[in-house]
Amino acid sequence: MTLYLDPPVWPAHGTVFSHLVSDTSLAELHAFAAGAGIAARAFDRDHYDVPQRRYADLVHRGAVEVSGNDLVRRLIASGLRVPARERPESLQGALLQRWSRVLPGRQAIGRDLLARWSEPHRHYHGPKHLLAVLEALALLTAQPEQPVLLAAWFHDAVYRGAAGADEEQSAQLAQSALARAGLPAAPVRETVRLIRLTAAHAAGPADDGGALLCDADLSVLGGTPEQYRRYLAAVRADYAHVGDADFAAGRAAVVRRLLGLDPLFHTRGAQNQWLAAAQRNLEDELSGDLWKPER
């Protein structure tokens, strides 16, 4: 195990701070920090902020001195780095900027949606998923139409873990919020229709908007095995109130339904980027191979 420490040059609270990181696991980072008497509140997602007065002691305890740039490179290489854009304070601002381009002058609706997406019971169905869907749409088409973008923002605005009911309530929320905002009836109807499609991800062959939204929503299936494991862990946390046996049975049914979709992805771009990996991940999850060492 190796712990790394950059120079104490980051000013705050009348002193300067270093960053303490691990290149192996957060578990060893927490264990080292606890053994050194560093308070848990000093942890910031992927590192500990430690004041200058602790620097020499941490080096004595085994932390390796590196430059700030080297520390970041090692943290990224370890896979433990939390990108700045994914930190809640940065993510909220980035998403609000995106919202202002979707429905200019209606920031109150965007803030309300972000508050909903940020509810504490959400783990997978949170702001990161919203951003991932918006970024997937940007990969699939240079100019998504407004109803597609609005549907992405509203599609999990109501989330209680009740499949079908969540999508319907999200659609109803969009209907009322967008009508009150003065959006014309036609784009409101299309937004509502698209949200309801995400319950089954079954867009018709001529439904370009539905194909884009469904493919973007399912893009998480096409990640690496490690990314897919993290997705599964977050989904399990969303359903923490469900017992293991019931969750396993319900999840298996979901995976079988997804594998039975023909097509799983509708657009050529999504098929090229995510289809092969998604099929592998789903099949490995169903067989249990996902939890074996990578082949």
In this structure, what CATH number is given to the domain that contains residue 133?
1.10.3210
133 and 199 part of one domain: yes
Each residue of 43-81: pLDDT tens digit? 988 999 999 999 999 999 999 999 988 898 888 888 888
What was the pLDDT predicted at 214? 98
Q: Give the 3-state DSSP-derived string for the chain, with helices as H, strands as E and coil as C.
A: CCEEECCCCEEECCEEEEEEEECCCHHHHHHHHHHCCCCHHHECCCCEEEEHHHHHHHHHCCCEECCHHHHHHHHHHHCCCCCHHHCHHHHHHHHHHHHHHHCCCCHHHHHHHHHHHCCCCCCCCCHHHHHHHHHHHHHHCCCCCHHHHHHHHHCCCCCCCCCCHHHHHHHHHHHHHHHHCCCCHHHHHHHHHHHHHCCCCCCCCCCHHHHHHHHHHCHHHHCCHHHHHHHHHHHHHHCCCCCHHHHHHHHHHHHHHHHHCCCCCCCHHHHHHHHHHHHHHHHHHHHCHHHCCCC
Weakest mean pLDDT among 9-13, 87-91, 154-158, 214-218: 87-91
Does residue 13 have a pLDDT over 60?
A: yes
Per-residue pLDDT, 295: 42
Listed residues 32, 53, 82: the one ending a domain: 82
* 113 and 127 co-located in one domain: yes
Residue 291 confidence class, pLDDT cut points 50, 70, 90: low
Residues 115 and 135 grouped into a single domain: yes
The chain-wide mean pLDDT, for the chain, equals 92
Give the Å distances, CA to CA, from 166 to 42, 129, 159: 37, 16, 5
Is it the case that residue 19 has pLDDT exceeding 90? Answer: yes
Write down the pLDDT at residue 156: 97
Same domain as 284, residue 209: yes
Average confidence (pLDDT) over 126-146: 93
Calculate mean pLDDT across residues 22-45. Answer: 92
| Domain end among 82, 114, 140 | 82
Residues 108 and 227 occupy one common structural domain:
yes
Q: Looking at the structure, do residues 30 and 126 belong to the same domain, yes or no?
A: no
pLDDT cut 70: percent of the chain above it: 96
pLDDT confidence band for 97 (50 / 70 / 90):
confident
* Total number of domains constituting the chain: 2
User: Is this structure's pTM higher than 0.85?
Assistant: no
212 pLDDT tier (thresholds 50, 70, 90): very high
Same domain, 112 and 126: yes
Range picked from 41-50, 58-67, 96-105, 241-250 for highest mean pLDDT: 58-67
User: Where a domain ends, among 41, 60, 82?
Assistant: 82
Q: Are 39 and 10 in contact (CB under 8 A)?
A: no
Full residue range of the structural domain in which residue 11 is found: 3-82
Residue 258 has pLDDT above 60, yes or no: yes
Same domain, 146 and 272: yes
- Same domain (yes/no): 62, 190: no
Q: Which of 150-154, 159-163, 170-174, 258-262 has the lowest mean pLDDT?
A: 159-163
Q: Is the pLDDT of residue 228 over 90?
A: yes
Shared domain for 44 and 98, answered yes or no, is: no
- Sign of torsion, CA 280 284 285 290? negative
Interatomic CA distance for residues 6 and 63, integer angstroms: 10
On whether both 65 and 154 belong to a single domain, the answer is no
Same domain assignment for residues 114 and 72: no
pLDDT of residue 294: 44
